[in-house]
Amino acid sequence: MRTTFVKTLLALAKKDPSIWLLTGDLGFTVLEEFRDGLPDQYLNAGVAEQNMVGVAAGLAMTGKTVFVYSIVPFATFRCFEHIRNDVCYHELPVCIVGVGGGYSYGHMGSTHHALEDIAALRSLPNMTVVCPGDPLEVEGAVKSIVELRRPCYLRLGKAGEPKLHDPAKFSFTLGKSIEMLSGNSVTLIATSNMLETALNAANLLKEKKLQPRLLSMHTVKPIDRDALFKAADETPLIVTVEEHIPTGGLGSAVAEALAGHTRRPPQLICSAPDRFADTTGSQKFFRSKAGLTPDVIAGKIVSALSNL
């Protein structure tokens, strides 16, 4: 996802000198092509992320479209007040790019885990929250964010996520989910780097003669209410899959959207636990510990359906 982000942004910035990229002394081996190719549209602000957001806001006030790049905790939690007051309050075209969603930096402990970011950024007025699930969605998101020219949060994985969509049939629209599988047995809704896991879980359900529907909810705010209402009307169970705590993330956003709908089926939230990690390990280790694996998710869905 990171590589696709940089390549897409570089191609756009070569045509549009108003596009800038700022980094907080991170992105080595990833951002060099942008830095060397467009040095007048690039700034390394150093380990001063709050100042970096302020600089981005200032640039945006002069007509620039600014992307601010760092790992998720540094780009979001450390800068939250500045994002709120400098960017969102003034509705500026600044995109906060958080790399390493979920347990991507699992081996570095809870300080580097990104499990509350969607909740935090989704709470801000004027903020659009985009969490692409594969490189094609990243490319579509970057292009759409440049055109949007409003405050955005772009959450990226860093595990070499594969392309999951068919390029020949792919299209991307902010605020509109992508139906990857059609079916009426259950609706799975995935966001960010859990899309591949949800797709594998859906395939396990198909082996059990179920017909799952799978939605890629790449935009968590604004969320695709039309797709959610349709799923609520046509399927007996809604399942959300996210590498994020259950509070305030995709599961919460879906529940909020369906709260006033005339038909509201049961909802199963597959997420990370609402607690700090007591150990370190790989992303794969933490996902397994949290039950965020295709077999566990499929098993929970089968059990939930049997109890309806």
Residue 139 above 80 pLDDT? yes
The band of 264, judged by pLDDT with boundaries at 50, 70 and 90, is very high
Question: What average pLDDT does the segment 285-289 reach?
Answer: 97
- pTM for the whole thing? 0.97
Question: What average pLDDT does the segment 288-307 reach?
Answer: 98
Class of domain 2-156: alpha beta
The band of 187, judged by pLDDT with boundaries at 50, 70 and 90, is very high
CB neighbours of residue 275 within 10 Å: 9
pLDDT for the residue numbered 295: 98
The band of 260, judged by pLDDT with boundaries at 50, 70 and 90, is confident
- Nearest Cα residue to 228 out of 243, 245, 213: 213
Give φ, ψ of 108 to 5 degrees.
-100, 0
Q: What is the DSSP letter of 102?
A: B
Residue 253 above 80 pLDDT? yes
Average pLDDT of every residue of the chain: 97
**Same fold? 2-156, 178-306:** yes
Distance, CA of 126 to CA of 300 (rounded, Å): 36
Residue 159 above 80 pLDDT? no
Q: What is the dihedral of CA 247, 96, 90, 64, to 10 degrees?
A: -160
CATH 3.40.50.920 given to domain 178-306? yes
Residue 94 above 80 pLDDT? yes
Instruction: Report whether 106 contacts 288 (CB < 8 A).
Output: no
Core vs surface per residue 39-71: b (16+ CB within 10 A) or e = eebbbbbeeebbebbbbbbebbeeebbbbbbbb
pLDDT for the residue numbered 160: 84
For 245, the token pair is: 């705590």
Residue 108 above 80 pLDDT? yes
Percent of the chain at pLDDT above 70?
100
Domain range list for the chain = 2-156, 178-306
Residue 158 above 90 pLDDT? no
Distance, CA of 33 to CA of 169 (rounded, Å): 30
Among the listed ranges 14-18, 69-73, 136-140, 160-164, which one has the minimum average pLDDT value? 160-164
